[in-house]
């Protein structure tokens, strides 16, 4: 599907070339893929002696159930997040994730802004969780479905008869009737549909989008918020690009349309990307509550809670007051 502006055509050519480059690795998979970095999950966990680190995966669809504790390794995973060459994609994420622990120690010490590499690591971590997310996968599927339908319609309604001419040049056949046109359009578009269905298009575009997201976030500042009281929640879609206008806040907007991008970085820290400056800040109790409610609203199914923190009561109360009502 290479129609459109020259830039869009070149981008599509680059995507197609990368798919072919990865095709020999298509069946090399990581079955359980973390969409939340384990380093991040561990920051919300509590040690329980020989049982190791534990946190509470709170199922928002069944809030009144007993929520059993789990290890960070068991949380934030999707069985088949990427279905094409996912092992090589894990290598892309791994290059960043090996740097997170040192940056996290600097955050805890309070000297993170003295090291530009640590600051860049945290910005890249925000970008990672924006694109390695169930929300991004949903958006990708919606966009492909829409664009595919638009291209198919354009081929069938082209008054210049380019489709008929293309088939004539390729096969010597003269197309007659809508059924013949439809069959020809489907044949032309079939490679793109196959790459969508087998996950190749998603695999390559998520890698490409990660690079672009890092560039966009890198150019702005980073603020780290510390709660005046209380603590932050972590949802299963934790990085949120938000747009604030007056009293209205919209989340999951495009990076370029966002006024900030937030990512909880432990109960006592929250990263805010695309800010005017670098530095630490204090989140009021109202701000903490607002940001936690955003995590609940944006989550696909779960939020992850530090054991014995009392946050389960907060989440249940918010749900009982009508939170996430638009999803019901």
For 280-303, letters b (16+ CB in 10 Å) and e give eeebeeebbeebbbbbbbbbbebb
Q: What is residue 223's predicted lDDT score, i.e. its pLDDT?
A: 98
Residue 274 DSSP label: E
Q: What is the mean pLDDT of each run of 10 residues along the chain (328 residues)?
A: 56 90 94 92 95 96 93 93 94 93 97 97 98 94 93 72 56 56 80 95 96 95 97 96 89 92 97 96 97 96 94 95 79
Sequence spans of domains, the chain: 11-20+25-134+216-327, 140-201
Q: Taking the complete model, does pTM exceed 0.85, yes or no? A: yes
Q: What is residue 4's predicted lDDT score, i.e. its pLDDT?
A: 47
Q: What is residue 187's predicted lDDT score, i.e. its pLDDT?
A: 81
Q: Which is nearest to 235 in space by CA: 291, 307, 319, 310?
A: 291
What is the CA 314 to chain-centroid distance, rounded?
25
Phi, psi angle pair for 247, to nearest 5°: -90, 5
**Distance between CA atoms of residues 287 and 302, nearest Å:** 21
Say if CB 164 and CB 172 are below 8 A apart. no
Question: Strand 279-283 relative to strand 221-227: parallel, antiparallel, unpaired?
Answer: parallel
Q: How far is CA 152 from each of CA 41, 175, 177, 185, 304, rounded to the nearest angstrom?
A: 43, 16, 16, 6, 43
Q: What is residue 156's predicted lDDT score, i.e. its pLDDT?
A: 77
**Distance between CA atoms of residues 60 and 227, nearest Å:** 24
**Distance between CA atoms of residues 207 and 89, nearest Å:** 7
Phi, psi angle pair for 53, to nearest 5°: -75, 140
What is the CA 181 to chain-centroid distance, rounded?
38
Written as six digits, the tokens of 186 are 């489907």
């Amino acid at each position: 599907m290479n129609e459109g502006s020259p830039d869009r055509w070149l981008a599509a050519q680059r995507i197609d070339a990368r798919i072919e480059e990865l095709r020999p690795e298509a069946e090399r998979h990581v079955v359980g893929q973390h969409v939340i970095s384990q380093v991040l999950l561990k920051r919300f966990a509590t040690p329980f002696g020989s049982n190791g680190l534990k946190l509470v995966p709170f199922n928002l669809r069944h809030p009144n159930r007993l929520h059993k504790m789990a290890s960070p390794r068991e949380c934030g995973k999707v069985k088949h997040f990427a279905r094409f060459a996912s092992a090589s994609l894990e290598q892309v994420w791994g290059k960043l994730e090996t740097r997170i622990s040192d940056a996290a120690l600097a955050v805890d010490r309070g000297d993170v802004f003295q090291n530009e590499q640590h600051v860049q690591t945290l910005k890249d971590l925000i970008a990672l969780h924006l694109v390695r997310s169930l929300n991004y996968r949903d958006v990708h599927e919606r966009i492909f479905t829409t664009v595919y339908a638009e291209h198919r319609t354009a081929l069938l309604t082209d008054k210049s008869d380019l489709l008929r001419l293309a088939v004539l040049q390729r096969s010597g056949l003269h197309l007659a009737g809508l059924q013949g046109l439809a069959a020809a359009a489907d044949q032309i578009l079939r490679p793109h549909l196959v790459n969508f269905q087998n996950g190749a298009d998603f695999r390559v575009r998520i890698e490409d989008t990660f690079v672009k997201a890092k560039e966009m976030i890198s150019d702005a500042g980073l603020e780290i918020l510390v709660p005046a009281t209380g603590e932050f929640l972590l949802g299963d879609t934790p990085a949120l690009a938000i747009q604030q206008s007056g009293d209205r806040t919209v989340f999951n907007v495009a990076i370029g349309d966002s006024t900030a991008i937030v990512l909880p970085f432990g109960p006592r820290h929250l990263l805010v990307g695309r800010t005017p400056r670098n530095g630490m800040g204090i989140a009021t109790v109202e701000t903490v509550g607002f940001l936690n409610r955003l995590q609940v609203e944006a989550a696909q199914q779960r939020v992850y809670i530090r054991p014995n923190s009392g946050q389960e009561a907060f989440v249940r109360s918010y749900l009982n007051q009508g939170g996430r009502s638009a999803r019901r």
